Amino acid sequence: MLTLPPELREAFKEPFGPLFTDVEQLLSEAETPIIAVGDMVTYHLRQAGHEPHVAVVDGLTERDAIPDEVRAGLEGAGDRQVELVNEPAALSRDLLVALRDAVDAEERTLLVVEGEEDLATLPAVLVAPLGSSVVYGQPGEGMVLIRVTEAARAEMRDLLVRFDGDADAALATLGV
């Protein structure tokens, strides 16, 4: 549905919110529900005793397979699991629909992506309830907390409409 143009890659180098290396500190500042984007983020939240309302994973961390310990720590995440395909540097219709539906669902949901989940942060912020939190991994640095506000949504929307593809259809798919 959408692909990240090369000239927009720089916009993703800096964190979109405060960076944490301590999961307990992050949880003390996060609002619920929490949407987690990334295997390591989801693992660390679960290890700290917090089950995200939605978790998006792809079995990779920094382009390598996650360690067996992390894979084991993700087993049983969510009350339901949805498998989908999302190519690297892209946002597929399947991912957008799955995120929208998972946020709206009563039960906790694990979205298992074949491909790459890195860009799921943008639509996650757009569909998450105001006042909730989206947490994603910043490679080699830690976890980033985005508090879902109108300003955060506007920032993510501004980035998303600059992707290649039909941004209007993507936003309509998300229901925003």
10 Å CB burial of residue 101 (0-12, 13-18, 19+) is middle
How far is the first Cα of the chain from the last one, in angstroms, to the nearest whole number? 16
Annotated ligand binding at 58? The verdict is yes
CA distances from 18 to 73, 94, 148, 172 (A): 25, 29, 13, 29
CA distance 51 to 40: 13
The per-residue pLDDT for 139 is: 84
3-class secondary structure, 91:
strand
Annotated ligand binding at 39? The verdict is yes
CB 129, CB 117: distance < 8 Å: no
The per-residue pLDDT for 79 is: 94
The per-residue pLDDT for 117 is: 94
The per-residue pLDDT for 59 is: 87
Q: What is the mean pLDDT of each run of 10 residues along the chain (176 residues)?
A: 95 95 97 96 96 94 83 91 95 97 96 94 98 94 97 97 97 95
The per-residue pLDDT for 61 is: 79
CB 44, CB 138: distance < 8 Å: no
